[in-house]
Structure 1
Amino acid sequence: MMKKKMYKWGVYVCSLKHHYSTSSSPSVTTFFNKFVDKSNVFSWNSVIAELSRSGDSIEALRAFSSMRKLSVCPNRSSFPCAIKSCSALRDLASGRQFHQQVLIFGYGSDLFASSSLIDMYSKCGELEDARLLFDEIPQRNVVCWTSMIAGYVQSEHPRDALFLFKELLVSESESVGDEEVYVDAVALVSVLSACSRVSGKDITQGVHGFAIKRGLDEHLGIGNTLIDAYAKCSEVGLSRKVFEEMAEKDVISWNSMIAVYAQNGLSSEAMELFHSLARDKEVKYNAITLSTLLLACSHAGALRPGKSVHDQVIKLFLEDNVYVGTSIIDMYCKCGRLEMARKAFDRMKDKNVKSWSAMIAGYGMHGRAKEALEVFYAMNHAGVTPNYITFVSVLAACAHAGLLDEGWHWFRAMEHRFHINPGLEHYSCMVDLLGRAGYLTKAYNLINEMKVLPDSVVWGSLLAACRMHKNVELAELCANKLFEIDPTNCGYYVLLSHIYADAGRWKDMERMRIIMKNKGLTKTPGFSLVELKGLVHLFLVGDRQHHQHERIYAYLNKLSIELQAVGYTPNMSSVLHDVDEEEKGLALQVHSEKLAVAFGILNSIPGETIHVIKNLRICSDCHTTIKLTTKIVDRQIVIRDSKRFHHFKDGICSCGDYW
């Protein structure tokens, strides 16, 4: 009789798993209520597990509660899925209650319940409790080790995760018989995630070698994580090698590799890989793929490919996807088409905090702080709570426009009203705002009062302000800090040499050049991009490789005469002092943005706006030249440099000469 009853339950449970493995949880609940014996714990366990697996964590917890109300006692299989639901909901209070019940029912030594609790405490931000529980387990299995390693990774403690992995290897070497521990693929995925966060090539290669030795390198999850880990070490080639050698690829594999290209500014490679994916009959691209492609277009300022991806979004009816919609906003903002970004923003039915933040950031980078703050106020009115990134966007907008009072107000409100502790990005914005407004001492004092250790971006902002306001003494202090933090970044040496040049301290400028030479540091070459008729043209400083270079230089010579007629005088303060005045003027004339603008004027119809992207900050001479050029040629010229957008029209720049 008992065997017959057990068979009956087994049929119901198997039928439940088979029939509703891809169904929604209401269907699972309906089936359970109608057909399954509610007095049996195995039936409840199956339903709780299925609800948890399908992502309906609240219903899973309700099912557990219903089981207890019927006085059905949980067994060792009841707790892991229920605790997993607490993890998904970040419900620490319920998680602690389950921990108590685990102990009450005598499953405190059950490894699977313990592993679930470790995961729950980690995801709820209670890493100390997770580690305390881990340390109390006398004989740990690989699941316990993996849960704790993953907890460290999720809590942004990757070095602790790697240290624990070393302990796991020792434990593995010492384990025998029934207590044997063996590192599996799931554990290695967490370890490689830690490698991604520490950006260590040697560590990543070591773990990769371990995976090969264990025969786990063909595991799909390991391959996907390796792509990202190598990319974080700036090893794009190794990421591609892993991708190419993967025996099996899923959409995550393709998305990861496309993201690697996007994050490294390789938009053409990202688009080529997408076209390969589109031809693949095994894998179909998804919303994440398109969001990643839009990111690639954003970084490159590639409008035409961006529009093409937008067309795909429309065809697939994904415009209402909040993540894709946000990526579209970001793409149009960074391609200099703010009005198109606003249209995309207004069309979104549902906006999350990222959508609002993207629109605020877009207005900010274009120098339209008033509109940025209006969107921020509308966001608050809509009941959307701003987050860490939102305030970076708000403060950056204030910094770009020189809105000192508004900047201070929201910097204080962020902490006192919204309970968000300022981070490096917020401090950097405030230092930039204070510094450019001329309050160098206040900016320096703010750095000394920071609650986090200032990084190169913070000190770099103050160094740039020192050049603007010609404060050599403070500039030297900032530069020395930067040389300690990031000794191989040539940009800081170059900036200090320019500050010395502006002050006429040529010997100190020469000293900087010698230091750079001795350290093997070379200045990042400036380049500018201009897109015309679907083709992107690249210009370097003094470029004579372009097929129209003779025509471009002839036009610049003609334009130079017209500029001087309207009062232009070359700003030669930071050009090498050991060349004559004529050579200095020629050196300024061949800056990449001037070449790109000249090419754009020569090859576009009268009145057409010219869009240029520059990899470095635009220099003051080019800024003045392009302002005056717009009056002469009656054109609007938009330049995106490394800091912001400049909209030049009728001899005026949108930045108000404040950049």
Structure 2
Amino acid sequence: MSHASILLQVKHLNPLKQVHASIVTSGLSQNIFLSNRLANSYAQCGLMDNAEQIFHRISSKNIVSWTILISGYAKNHLFMDAINVFNKMVTYGFLPNEITISSILPAFGNLGLTQIGKSVHCFWVRCGNGANVFVETALVGMYSKLGYAGVARRVFDSMSERNIVAWNVMISCYSDYGFGEEGFGLFNLMRREGVHVDFFTVMSLISASSCVEDLRIGQGVHCLTVRTGFERGQLVRTALMDRYVNGNHIEDANLIFNDMHVKDVVAWTLMLTGFSKGQYWNKAIEHFNEMMRVEGIEVDSVALTGILSSCSDSGALLQGKRVHALVEKRGFACDVFVGSALIDMYTNCANLEDARKYFEGMEEKDVACWNAMIAGNGMNGHGNDAIDLFLRMKGSGINPDESTFVCVLYACSHAGMVDQGLHIFSHMVKSWNVFPNSKHYACVADLLGRAGRLDDAYILVNSMPLLPDFDIYCALLSACKIHGNIELGIKISEKLFQLEPNDAGHYVLLSNMYALAGNWEGVKMTRISLRSKRLKKDPGFSSIEINGELYTFMAGQKDHPQYYEVEGLLQCMIIRIQEAGYVPDTRSVLQELSDDVKMDILYHHSEKLAIAFGLGRTKPGTIIRITKNLRSCNDCHSACKFISKVYEREIVVKDTNRFHVFQEGVCSCRDYW
């Protein structure tokens, strides 16, 4: 609490303390009416110690005295204290009234005390007190907190009178448990009964809209907040931003953010999360830098984790190091959440040395830190190191979780360590009591598939106790492409089309598989299917960080602001690597195109544009780091080998599968990707 806030509270409390002193000096401290009012005033201010002292000094306590203390504890979230006082009250023979009951029920709900909550409900019914809107509303709230949405609705429907609080509690219950459509159905009933919305209704509806896929419903709620005048409130705007960010409508969230006159750290951090989630990495970094310049905004662990995530995903190592320095400066170095984000950032920028250094220096490591380090080794092709870490983790007393096994199986897959991976997978339940889920099966299918054991992978998938999902079939289809097994690839594609008929990615993968096998009729039919469904494949883009600034290039992008600079560099780069023996791999390009067009398409892959730009903008010997949103194609992979040799540069490329570190014409993946 700030010094100004403390002074303001003292200023507001001074009149209350003066009244308290006057009651004592006047000899009225045993007046039950005055003592109750005084205790209630302290409770309303959150000063429960003062309220309790007055309560204990009352020699002839009545039900109001007990209820004031119970209500005060409950409203200040001291639920266990409220229950203890309630138990004492009953022990001393006081029967709770409707205010007592409605005050204590939230404590049972928040602490998950189902049995005692039901017992108090039964007591109220047995006493025959009849309908009471306050008790019934509290019952709806209690059952909502306990997770009994159906029971809460039955209590709600049986109410003879419903106030706005009851409606809000029930709508909030539906939104909390993901029943968005039920929440909006109840809201429509509320409007038909002529009940006017308030702030809490609006907040519950915004939350409920997150549970409904239809964006128009969320936009409708936004319009409602404008019509009812609640849209200008900070909490409402932040909730709307959160809804748009979670729905991946980042531009809508940004419009609300920019229209805010006062932006707190929550709004800044939420927008940062949105940019990172939506892959607006440049904007995320710019936004964070602007946030740091705003007076009065103190970054927290959530903001630091968000910006580190953006640096990790974009490969912005220099910016990540700056954030690391800020972490140390602001005292977050011991925060395990920030620590795992730092490890993730370094490993995702192929800087394993700094990742290991930070990891080993951590005084406390949670499972997320170990997972990040294991995954980083896996992405960089260090399978043995990943397994060593996995065994060290077991010895440190931290039990592996489901994510740990995904990380270590992934590492085995990308290092070609089939036997080790199968051994770990087969002992998950016996040795660690972790049951395999679909992600683990996808890793093992990938492990077997990459090694060419496609039949074994297919048998595993067909015999697994779970229904194979999209990721499992994708792993198999990718393996079919690598090994040219078109027959099995077609079978897998049919499964994928059934699961995700509108995902363009596997259409493209199947088309490329046909192309590599020289089956151009298959390529043609696949692309016709793609166009007939009006699906578009994700455009390839690559990012490179130079002097702390991030540059992103799209495949075939000739209107890029730096294209005129890149064009000459690109031509020179292609000529030099061709002289060294590079031959373009046109197998995945449509054969009906002319040779010149095929070459132009390959030369303007985003990876080559970014590398050419990096060669021109950096000094000789500087490592070039590229981050891609797609898997590296055969042609770019081959070209990078020649570029690293001809220009005597280390080139680090992070694609969706792993890192490729090119040095002197050789890739760290050993062509196993």
Q: 1:438 aligns with which of 449, 452, 456?
A: 452
CA shift at 1:469, angstroms?
A: 1.9
| Alpha-carbon distance in structure 1 between the residues aligned to 2:344 and 2:103 | 39
1:305 aligns to 2:323 (yes or no): no
1:9 aligns to 2:28 (yes or no): no
For residue 657 of structure 1, give the secondary structure of its aligned residue in structure 2.
Answer: coil
For residue 524 of structure 1, give the secondary structure of its aligned residue in structure 2.
Answer: coil
Instruction: Output aligned runs, 1:95-494, within 5 Å.
Output: 95-106=114-125, 110-122=135-147, 139-155=161-177, 157=178, 160-174=179-193, 181-246=195-260, 249-281=263-295, 284-411=298-425, 422-448=436-462, 454-494=468-508
Judge conservation of contact 2:184–2:208 (CA < 8 Å) in 1: no
Distance 1:252 1:303, change over 3 A: same
Larger mean CA deviation between 345-354 and 133-142 belongs to 133-142
| Alpha-carbon distance in structure 2 between the residues aligned to 1:605 and 1:629 | 15
Distance 1:582 1:269, change over 3 A: closer
Judge conservation of contact 2:545–2:625 (CA < 8 Å) in 1: yes
Distance 1:578 1:195, change over 3 A: same
Distance 1:164 1:588, change over 3 A: closer
1:515 aligns to 2:515 (yes or no): no
CA shift at 1:445, angstroms?
A: 4.5
CA shift at 1:263, angstroms?
A: 0.6
Report the equivalent of 1:592. Answer: 606
| Alpha-carbon distance in structure 2 between the residues aligned to 1:315 and 1:620 | 44
CA shift at 1:547, angstroms?
A: 0.8
Amino acid at match of 1:115: V
Larger mean CA deviation between 65-74 and 184-193 belongs to 65-74
Distance 1:59 1:379, change over 3 A: farther
Tell me the alpha carbon deviations over residues 49-73 of structure 1, each in whole angstroms, 9 at most, x when there is no partner: 6666666665665565566666665
Instruction: Output aligned runs, 1:53-132, within 5 Å.
Output: 74-77=96-99, 84=106, 91=112, 94-106=113-125, 110-122=135-147
Distance 1:103 1:355, change over 3 A: farther
| Alpha-carbon distance in structure 2 between the residues aligned to 1:534 and 1:248 | 29
Judge conservation of contact 1:230–1:239 (CA < 8 Å) in 2: yes
Larger mean CA deviation between 624-633 and 457-466 belongs to 624-633
Amino acid at match of 2:565: H
| Alpha-carbon distance in structure 2 between the residues aligned to 1:153 and 1:414 | 36
Give the structure with higher Rg (CA): 2
Judge conservation of contact 1:118–1:148 (CA < 8 Å) in 2: no
Instruction: Output aligned runs, 1:615-654, within 5 Å.
Output: 615-627=629-641, 629-631=643-645, 633-654=647-668
Distance 1:400 1:248, change over 3 A: same
Amino acid at match of 2:328: I
CA shift at 1:528, angstroms?
A: 2.2
| Alpha-carbon distance in structure 2 between the residues aligned to 1:29 and 1:227 | 39
Report the equivalent of 1:23. Answer: none
User: What is the Cα-based RMSD across aligned positions, in Å?
Assistant: 3.7
| Alpha-carbon distance in structure 2 between the residues aligned to 1:306 and 1:540 | 23
CA shift at 1:639, angstroms?
A: 0.8
For residue 547 of structure 1, give the secondary structure of its aligned residue in structure 2.
Answer: helix
Give the number of equivalent residue pairs: 634
Judge conservation of contact 1:199–1:229 (CA < 8 Å) in 2: no
| Alpha-carbon distance in structure 2 between the residues aligned to 1:561 and 1:154 | 64
| Alpha-carbon distance in structure 2 between the residues aligned to 1:134 and 1:394 | 50
Amino acid at match of 2:235: G
Tell me the alpha carbon deviations over residues 608-655 of structure 1, each in whole angstroms, 9 at most, x when there is no partner: 332111221111233234345545555432111122222233544333
| Alpha-carbon distance in structure 1 between the residues aligned to 2:467 and 2:227 | 40
For residue 45 of structure 2, give the secondary structure of its aligned residue in structure 1.
Answer: helix
- TM-score, length-scaled by structure 1: 0.83
| Alpha-carbon distance in structure 1 between the residues aligned to 2:666 and 2:292 | 45
Larger mean CA deviation between 532-541 and 134-143 belongs to 134-143
Judge conservation of contact 2:542–2:553 (CA < 8 Å) in 1: yes
Report the equivalent of 2:7. Answer: none
| Alpha-carbon distance in structure 2 between the residues aligned to 1:447 and 1:321 | 40
For residue 279 of structure 2, give the secondary structure of its aligned residue in structure 1.
Answer: coil
Judge conservation of contact 1:395–1:411 (CA < 8 Å) in 2: yes
Larger mean CA deviation between 411-420 and 616-625 belongs to 411-420
Distance 1:423 1:557, change over 3 A: same
User: Percent same amino acid at aligned positions?
Assistant: 33
For residue 652 of structure 2, give the secondary structure of its aligned residue in structure 1.
Answer: strand
Report the equivalent of 2:578. Answer: 560
- TM-score, length-scaled by structure 2: 0.82
| Alpha-carbon distance in structure 1 between the residues aligned to 2:89 and 2:399 | 37
Judge conservation of contact 1:528–1:615 (CA < 8 Å) in 2: yes
Judge conservation of contact 2:42–2:50 (CA < 8 Å) in 1: no
| Alpha-carbon distance in structure 1 between the residues aligned to 2:204 and 2:458 | 41
Report the equivalent of 1:611. Answer: 625
Report the equivalent of 1:18. Answer: 45
| Alpha-carbon distance in structure 1 between the residues aligned to 2:455 and 2:605 | 34
For residue 257 of structure 1, give the secondary structure of its aligned residue in structure 2.
Answer: helix
Judge conservation of contact 2:282–2:550 (CA < 8 Å) in 1: no
| Alpha-carbon distance in structure 2 between the residues aligned to 1:619 and 1:446 | 28
Distance 1:280 1:513, change over 3 A: same
For residue 653 of structure 2, give the secondary structure of its aligned residue in structure 1.
Answer: strand
Amino acid at match of 1:438: G
Tell me the alpha carbon deviations over residues 322-350 of structure 1, each in whole angstroms, 9 at most, x when there is no partner: 32222222222222222222333334333
Judge conservation of contact 1:345–1:359 (CA < 8 Å) in 2: yes
| Alpha-carbon distance in structure 2 between the residues aligned to 1:318 and 1:614 | 30
Larger mean CA deviation between 524-533 and 143-152 belongs to 143-152
Judge conservation of contact 2:51–2:69 (CA < 8 Å) in 1: no
| Alpha-carbon distance in structure 1 between the residues aligned to 2:641 and 2:320 | 28
For residue 565 of structure 2, give the secondary structure of its aligned residue in structure 1.
Answer: coil
Amino acid at match of 1:255: T
Tell me the alpha carbon deviations over residues 531-584 of structure 1, each in whole angstroms, 9 at most, x when there is no partner: 23333344444566141431342133122222x2xxx65544323323577875
